[in-house]
C-alpha cells in the first residue's frame, strides 16, 4: 500500500465520520517560539488550550513535521526521520475516549476492501496509563483485546503534557508486533524494537500546575473542554504495510537511497556503515526538499541553519561514500518524483527549489576544499611540533566555523598517522548543545504565554477597521504587564492593551506596524508596536504617557496618518517592483521576503546572479511608468480557490486561510494575495528610486528602494552633489563622468610614478645598509630601523636586496619600519644563514612579541608587526641577542 494511499484512506475514513479535513500547516510554525512544526498538534494548540474557539468540533489532517533533536539517530534506527507526516484526528469538546478508541480500532483492523488498513488484530498491542481504568475497559470491550495485550504503564510513557503548566492527560498507545524474529516476547512494556508504536491517542482532560518535570506536577482540575489529540506516524504505517524493514525503504524515500547507491557504486545491504550513510542521504534530501518548498532557505541562523545543516550532512555522507563531486541534481530530482503525488508544489516550484539546493552544494564543496587545506596545515604543524594528536579546539573550529565534519577530520588525521583529541572536541560540542537546549527551553516557555490571552480571546476576534478608518472608538478588553493579566496600567508603564476594535495595523506580510496613540478618558497611550499574538487577536504594546488605563474603559485608536500613508506607498511600490521584476526577468523570479516601512521598501526574490545596471534601470522604469499611469488599486475578499483561479500570486512561504484578500494594481498585471494596507491609485506612490541591489544568500537577491518623498529627497541630495562637482571641476553635467575618469586615470598614473620613485629611493639605500652588517654569533646581521615606509612590500623588497648583497657568508637582515603608523619588522635570511640556525619565521615572531603583536612566516623571509612603534629598537636588539645566544 503506497504512502499516499494510506493518507487518503485515513482522511476518507474520518471525513465519513463528520470530521473537517484540514490541510497541512506549513513546516514553518506560526508560533514564534518554535522553529518548525514539530508535531501534529502544533497548529491546533490555540484550540486545544482554549485560547481560540475552534472553528469546527472535530477535524482530521495529515501534518508535515520536522524534528532535529534526534538527528544523530537518523539512519541508525528504523523509525527516526527528520521530516515525517503525522496523521491526526481531533475533537475539541466533542467526542472523547470511547469514540477515539472505536475509530482507531475500526480504521486499523477494517478490511482494505472497505477502506480500512487491514491490520490483523492479533498483531496489535495497546498501552494505557496505569490508573486509567476507563481506557483499559474500553479497549477490552470495544476492541475485544485480551487483557494480557492491554498493558498499564507509568507517566513517563503514557501521560501527555508539554512539561509546562496547562493542558495534560493520559494517553493510550497502539503498537504493532513485528514477530519473534525481531525481539523478545512480552509486549511494549519490554521496550523492545520488536513492538513499533504506530498511533498515540491523547485524552486531554486536565489542567496541571506546579510542574517540576514532565512527569512531576499537580492536577488542578478538568479543562473547560475535554479534547482528543491523536497522532499516527504515516511513515511507520507505510513501512509495515509495504513489508520493508524501515521508513527509509518506503516508496517516498527509497528512490533517493537508490540514486545515492548508484552514484557511489555501493550496494544497499552490503555494509552497515554504508547503509547508514545511504539512509541519512535519503532522509535529509527529502527533508531539505520539503523545507525549501515551505519557504525556508539555507542560512547561518534559525531555520535556515537547520536546513543548511541537514543538507551538509547529506553532502558529507555522499563524500564518505566516495562521491566528491556534485550529486544534488540527481538526488533532489529523485525526491521530487517520489513526493510530487502527495505535494504537487515540489514539482511546480522545482526550478526554484533545486536552484537553492545546487547552490548550497557548490558552496559547501568549496568549504570542504578550504577546510581540507586548513586541516592539512594543522597536520603539518602538529607533526613538526612532535605531536601525535590534533587539538580538540582546532577540530571544533573546523566543524563550527567552516562546517567541516568531524568524521572527515578523523579520517584525514588517521591517514596522516595522527589522532584527534576527541574528548576536548566532545566537551566543546556538549557546551554548544547545552546552549542550544537552553535556547530551545526558552522558546518552549513562550508557548505557555499564550494562555494569558485565553479570557480576552474568548470574547471574540479583534475587529480591524484600519482599511477604511484611521480612528476607531472601542473599549479595553484586556491589559497585560510583564506577561500577566492586570486590571490597569499607570503612567510610565509598558503594557499590552487589547481592544475590541482597532484601526492600528499589526505587523504582517512584510509591512511594519502602525504608529499612533490610544486615547480615552484621562489617559493617552503611545503605541510602540502592534502584533497578533494568537489567531484573531490584535495586541498593542504601549507606553502609558498620561494618566492610567483600565479594563472596560472606552478607548479610541488613532493612526499616525502621515506614517501610514508613507507605509502604504512603500507597500504598493513593493507590488509594482515585484511585477516589474517578473516582467524583466521572467516568472521564475518570485518573492522570498519583503519589508515595507514609511518611505522604504526591501524586496527579496529568487535569482542567482547580480542584476546589471541596465536591468536595474529597466525595473525602475517599469515601476515608475505604473506610477505615472495612475493605475487603480482594488481589493477583494474571496475564497482562496477563487483567488488562485483569478491568477493571484500566493507568495512563497506565506500562510493563507480559506478566505483571502486579493490586491490588484492595474488589474491582473499585479495581482497578489495581501493583507496589507495600500494606496487607492498608483500615482499616490509618487516615485520609486532603486538605491541598492545585493546578494542575500545563494540564489537570492535583494533590491532596496526609497519611495515617495524619501525618494525625492535622495534624488535632490544627489542633484546637489552633481551641482557641486560641476562647479568645482568647471565641467558640464553631461561630461562629468568623462572628466572624473580622466582625473582618476591621471591620479593613478601619478601614484604609479611616485611609487616608482619611492622604490628607487628605497633600493638606493641597500648598499649603505649592507655596509652596516655586523657579526652576531657567526651570522652577518643587518638590523636597522629605516623610518617610515609606504608599505610592508617596500620594506620586504629592500630587505631582500640587502640580503643579496651579503655574499655567500651566513647572513640575516632585519629591517624595522613604520607603515601607516604601525611598526613592521621584515626578516630575510640567506641559505648559509639558515644552515647556521637563522630562521626568519622564528625571528620575526620574536620581534613581533616585543612590538605587542604577532608574526611569523617561512624560514627564508617573514614578517612581524605590532602596535607600539617605540619598541622597534628593542625588537631589533632582541633579534641580535637571539642569534648571539644561539651559538654560545
Residue 532 is part of a domain; what is its CATH number? 2.40.30.130
Whether residue 177 is predicted with pLDDT greater than 90 in this model: the reply is yes
32 and 130 assigned to the same domain = yes
Q: Cα–Cα–Cα angle for 759, 763, 765, nearest 5°?
A: 125
Q: Which residue has the higher pLDDT, 664 or 163?
A: 664
CA 57 to chain centre: 35
Residue 416 resides in a domain: yes
- Indicate which CATH number applies to the domain containing 823: 3.10.310.40
Q: What is the 8-class DSSP label of residue 649?
A: B
In this model, does residue 225 exceed pLDDT 70? yes
652 confidence band (pLDDT: 50, 70, 90): low
DSSP 155: H
Is residue 541 domain-shared with residue 571, that is, in the same domain? no
Do the Cβ atoms of 332 and 353 come closer than 8 Å? yes
Domain containing 266: what range?
254-420
Average pLDDT of the chain?
89
Average pLDDT over residues 122-127: 96
As given in the structure block, the three cell numbers for residue 142 are: 470495544
Report pLDDT for 208.
87
Coil, strand, or helix at residue 657?
coil
Question: What's the gap between Cα 500 and its chain centre?
Answer: 35
Q: Reduced to 3 states, what is the DSSP secondary structure of residue 494?
A: strand
Distances (CA, A) of 749 to 296, 687, 728: 50, 42, 22
Q: Which residues make beta-bridge pairs with 95?
A: none
pLDDT of 744-799, one tens digit each? Answer: 999 999 988 887 887 787 778 889 898 999 999 889 999 999 988 878 888 999 99
Extract the annotated binding site. 571, 575, 674, 678
Q: Are residues 495 and 457 in the same domain?
A: yes
Domain termination site, one of 374, 404, 420: 420
Q: Is 112 helix (H, G, I), strand (E, B) or coil?
A: helix
Residues 312 and 368 in one domain: yes
Q: What is the pLDDT of residue 391?
A: 84
Are 238 and 339 contained in the same domain?
Answer: no
742 inside domain: no
| Whole-angstrom distance, CA of residue 98 vs CA of residue 869 | 85
Q: Is residue 118 part of a domain?
A: yes
The answer to whether 401 touches 438, Cβ cutoff 8 Å, is no
216 shares its domain with 301: no
536 plus 578 within the same structural domain: no
Residues 852-871, mean pLDDT to the nearest whole number = 88
E strands of 547-687, at which residues?
548-550, 554-559, 591-597, 600-606, 633-639, 659-665, 670-673
Helix H or strand E segment including 516: strand 516-520
How many whole angstroms separate alpha carbon 541 and alpha carbon 527? 6
Instruction: Evaluate whether residue 441 is within a structural domain.
Output: no
End-to-end CA gap in the chain? 86
pLDDT at 817: 92
State whether 275 and 395 are in the same domain.
yes
Percent of the chain whose pLDDT exceeds 70: 95
From 505, 524, 559, the end of a domain falls on: 559
Q: Sheet harboring 700-707: ordered strands across?
A: 591-597, 600-606, 700-707, 688-695
**215 contacts: CB under 8 Å, gap ≥ 6:** 154, 155, 156, 159
Q: What is the pLDDT of residue 698?
A: 65
Kind of pairing between the strands at 419-420 and 389-390? parallel
> d(Cα 266, Cα 323) in Å, to the nearest integer?
11
Q: Is residue 72 part of a domain?
A: yes
Mean of pLDDT values over 856-880: 90
| The domain boundary residue, chosen from 529, 544, 559 | 559
Q: Judge whether 584 and 571 are in contact, CB under 8 Å.
A: no
CA dihedral 149, 154, 157, 162 (to 10 degrees): 140
Confidence tier at 32 by pLDDT (50, 70, 90): low
- Per-residue exposure over 565-596, b if at least 16 CB sit within 10 Å of its own CB, e if not: bbbbbbbbbbbbbbbbbbebbeeebbbbbbbb
The 10s digit of each residue's pLDDT in 456-500 is 888 888 999 999 999 999 999 999 998 888 999 999 999 999 999
Answer with the residue of higher pLDDT: 398 or 838.
838
User: How far, rounded to the nearest angstrom, does the alpha carbon of residue 370 sit from its chain's CA centroid?
Assistant: 23
Residues 277 and 411 in one domain: yes
Q: Is the residue at 154 inside a domain?
A: yes
Residue 404 CA to residue 395 CA, distance in Å, equals: 8
Q: Are residues 349 and 414 in the same domain?
A: yes
Distance CA 78, CA 71 (A): 13
E strands, 78-177, in order = 83-92, 124-129, 150-153, 159-161, 166-177
List helix spans (H) across 385-487: 392-402, 406-415, 422-448, 454-457
CATH number at residue 196: 3.30.930.10
Domain check: are 268 and 375 in the same one?
yes
Q: Which residues are annotated as a binding site for Zn(2+)?
A: 571, 575, 674, 678
Q: Which residues pair with 497 in a beta bridge?
A: 479, 540
In a domain, 752, yes or no: no
pLDDT reported for residue 405: 67
Rounded distance between C-alpha atoms, residue 576 and residue 133, angstroms = 64
Residue 706, in any domain of the structure: yes
853, three cell numbers: 603583536
3-state secondary structure of 693: strand
Q: In whole angstroms, how far apart are CA 327 and each of 284, 321, 331, 754?
A: 13, 12, 6, 53
pLDDT above 80: residue 402: no
Cβ proximity of 195 and 184 under 8 Å: no
pLDDT, position 175: 96
- Provide the grid cell at 255: 528512490
Q: Rounded to an integer, what distance in angstroms lies between the CA atom of residue 169 and that of residue 157?
A: 12
pLDDT of 266 reads 95
Q: Are 157 and 10 found together in one domain? A: yes
Domain count within the chain: 5
Which helix H or strand E contains 641, and what residues bound it?
helix 640-645
- Residue pair 367/702 in contact by the 8 Å Cβ criterion: no
The interaxial angle of helices 613-628 and 561-585, nearest 10 deg, is 130
CA 392 to mean position of chain CA atoms: 27
Are the C-beta atoms of 250 and 244 separated by less than 8 Å? yes
Amino acid at each position: 500500500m503506497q504512502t499516499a494511499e494510506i493518507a487518503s484512506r485515513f482522511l476518507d475514513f474520518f471525513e465519513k465520520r463528520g470530521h473537517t479535513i484540514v490541510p497541512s500547516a506549513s513546516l514553518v510554525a506560526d508560533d514564534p517560539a518554535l522553529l518548525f512544526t514539530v508535531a501534529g498538534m502544533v497548529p491546533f494548540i490555540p484550540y486545544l488550550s482554549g485560547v481560540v474557539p475552534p472553528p469546527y468540533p472535530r477535524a482530521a489532517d495529515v501534518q508535515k513535521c520536522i524534528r532535529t533533536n534526534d538527528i544523530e539517530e537518523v539512519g541508525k534506527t528504523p523509525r527516526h526521520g527528520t521530516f515525517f507526516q503525522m496523521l491526526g484526528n481531533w475533537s475539541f469538546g466533542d467526542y472523547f475516549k470511547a469514540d477515539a478508541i472505536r475509530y482507531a480500532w475500526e480504521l486499523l483492523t477494517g478490511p482494505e476492501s472497505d477502506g480500512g488498513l487491514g491490520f490483523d488484530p492479533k498483531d496489535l498491542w495497546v498501552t494505557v496509563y496505569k490508573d486509567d481504568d476507563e481506557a483499559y475497559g474500553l479497549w477490552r470491550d470495544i476492541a475485544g483485546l485480551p487483557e494480557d495485550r492491554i498493558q498499564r504503564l507509568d507517566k513517563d510513557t503514557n501521560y501527555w503534557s508539554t512539561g509546562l503548566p496547562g493542558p495534560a492527560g493520559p494517553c493510550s498507545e497502539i503498537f504493532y508486533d513485528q514477530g519473534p524474529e525481531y525481539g523478545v516476547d512480552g509486549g511494549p512494556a519490554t521496550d523492545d524494537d520488536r513492538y513499533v508504536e504506530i498511533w498515540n491517542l491523547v485524552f486531554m482532560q486536565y489542567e496541571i500546575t506546579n510542574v517540576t518535570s514532565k512527569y512531576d506536577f499537580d492536577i488542578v482540575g478538568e479543562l473547560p473542554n475535554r479534547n482528543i489529540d491523536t497522532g499516527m506516524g504515516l511513515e511507520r504505517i507505510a513501512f509495515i504495510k509495504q513489508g520493508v524493514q524501515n521508513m527509509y525503504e518506503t516508496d517516498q524515500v527509497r528512490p533517493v537511497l537508490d540514486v545515492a547507491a548508484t552514484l557511489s557504486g555501493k550496494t544497499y545491504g552490503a555494509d552497515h556503515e554504508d547503509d547508514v550513510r545511504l539512509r541519512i542521504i535519503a532522509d535529509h534530501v527529502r527533508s531539505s526538499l520539503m523545507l525549501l518548498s515551505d519557504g525556508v532557505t539555507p542560512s547561518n541562523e534559525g531555520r535556515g541553519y537547520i536546513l543548511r545543516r541537514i543538507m551538509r550532512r547529506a553532502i558529507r555522507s555522499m563524500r564518505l561514500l566516495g562521491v566528491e563531486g556534485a550529486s544534488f541534481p540527481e538526488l533532489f530530482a529523485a525526491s521530487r518524483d517520489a513526493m510530487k503525488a502527495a505535494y504537487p508544489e515540489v514539482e511546480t516550484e522545482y526550478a526554484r527549489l533545486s536552484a537553492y539546493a545546487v547552490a548550497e552544494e557548490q558552496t559547501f564543496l568549496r568549504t570542504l576544499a578550504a577546510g581540507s587545506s586548513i586541516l592539512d596545515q594543522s597536520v603539518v604543524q602538529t607533526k613538526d611540533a612532535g605531536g601525535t594528536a590534533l587539538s580538540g579546539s582546532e577540530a571544533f573550529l573546523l566543524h563550527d566555523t567552516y562546517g567541516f565534519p568531524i568524521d572527515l577530520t578523523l579520517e584525514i588525521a588517521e591517514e596522516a598517522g595522527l589522532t584527534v583529541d576527541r574528548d576536548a572536541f566532545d566537551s566543546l560540542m556538549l557546551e554548544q548543545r547545552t546552549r542550544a537546549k537552553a535556547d530551545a527551553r526558552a522558546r518552549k516557555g513562550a508557548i505557555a504565554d499564550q494562555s494569558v490571552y485565553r479570557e480576552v480571546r474568548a470574547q471574540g476576534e479583534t475587529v480591524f477597521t484600519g482599511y477604511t478608518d484611521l480612528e476607531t472608538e472601542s473599549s479595553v478588553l484586556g491589559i497585560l504587564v510583564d506577561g500577566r493579566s492586570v486590571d490597569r496600567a499607570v503612567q510610565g508603564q509598558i503594557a499590552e492593551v487589547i481592544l475590541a476594535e482597532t484601526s492600528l495595523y499589526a505587523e504582517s506580510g512584510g509591512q511594519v506596524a502602525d504608529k499612533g496613540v490610544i486615547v480615552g478618558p484621562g489617559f493617552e497611550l503611545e503605541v510602540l508596536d502592534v502584533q497578533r499574538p494568537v489567531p484573531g487577536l490584535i495586541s498593542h504594546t504601549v507606553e502609558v504617557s498620561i494618566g492610567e488605563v483600565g479594563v472596560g474603559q472606552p478607548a479610541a485608536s488613532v493612526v499616525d496618518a502621515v506614517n501610514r500613508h508613507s507605509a502604504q506607498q512603500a507597500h504598493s511600490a513593493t507590488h509594482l517592483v515585484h511585477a516589474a521584476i517578473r516582467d524583466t526577468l521572467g516568472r521564475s523570479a518570485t518573492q522570498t521576503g519583503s519589508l515595507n516601512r514609511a518611505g522604504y521598501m526591501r524586496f527579496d526574490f529568487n535569482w542567482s546572479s547580480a542584476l546589471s545596471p541596465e536591468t536595474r534601470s529597466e525595473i525602475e522604469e517599469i515601476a515608475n511608468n505604473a506610477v505615472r499611469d495612475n493605475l487603480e488599486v482594488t481589493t477583494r475578499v474571496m475564497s482562496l480557490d477563487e483567488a488562485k483561479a483569478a491568477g493571484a500570486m500566493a507568495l512563497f512561504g506565506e500562510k493563507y486561510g480559506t478566505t483571502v484578500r486579493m490586491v490588484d494594481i492595474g488589474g491582473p498585471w499585479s495581482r497578489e494575495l495581501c493583507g496589507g494596507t495600500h494606496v487607492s491609485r498608483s500615482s499616490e506612490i509618487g516615485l520609486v528610486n532603486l538605491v541598492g541591489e545585493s546578494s542575500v544568500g545563494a540564489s537570492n537577491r535583494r533590491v532596496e528602494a526609497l519611495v515617495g518623498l524619501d525618494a525625492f529627497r535622495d534624488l535632490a541630495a544627489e542633484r546637489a552633489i552633481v551641482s557641486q562637482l560641476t562647479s568645482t571641476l568647471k565641467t558640464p553635467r553631461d561630461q562629468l563622468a568623462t572628466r572624473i575618469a580622466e582625473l582618476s586615470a591621471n591620479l593613478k598614473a601619478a601614484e604609479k610614478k611616485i611609487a616608482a620613485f619611492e622604490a628607487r629611493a628605497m633600493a638606493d639605500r641597500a648598499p649603505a645598509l649592507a655596509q652596516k652588517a655586523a657579526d652576531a654569533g657567526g651570522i652577518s646581521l643587518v638590523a636597522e630601523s629605516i623610518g617610515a615606509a609606504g608599505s610592508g612590500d617596500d620594506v620586504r623588497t629592500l630587505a631582500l636586496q640587502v640580503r643579496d648583497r651579503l655574499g655567500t657568508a651566513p647572513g640575516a637582515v632585519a629591517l624595522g619600519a613604520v607603515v601607516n603608523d604601525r611598526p613592521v619588522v621584515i626578516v630575510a635570511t640567506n641559505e648559509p644563514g639558515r644552515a647556521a640556525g637563522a630562521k626568519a619565521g622564528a625571528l620575526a615572531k620574536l620581534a613581533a612579541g616585543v612590538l605587542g603583536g604577532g608574526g611569523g612566516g617561512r624560514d627564508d623571509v617573514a614578517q612581524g608587526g605590532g602596535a607600539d612603534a617605540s619598541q622597534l629598537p628593542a625588537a631589533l636588539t632582541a633579534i641580535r641577542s637571539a642569534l648571539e645566544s644561539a651559538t654560545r
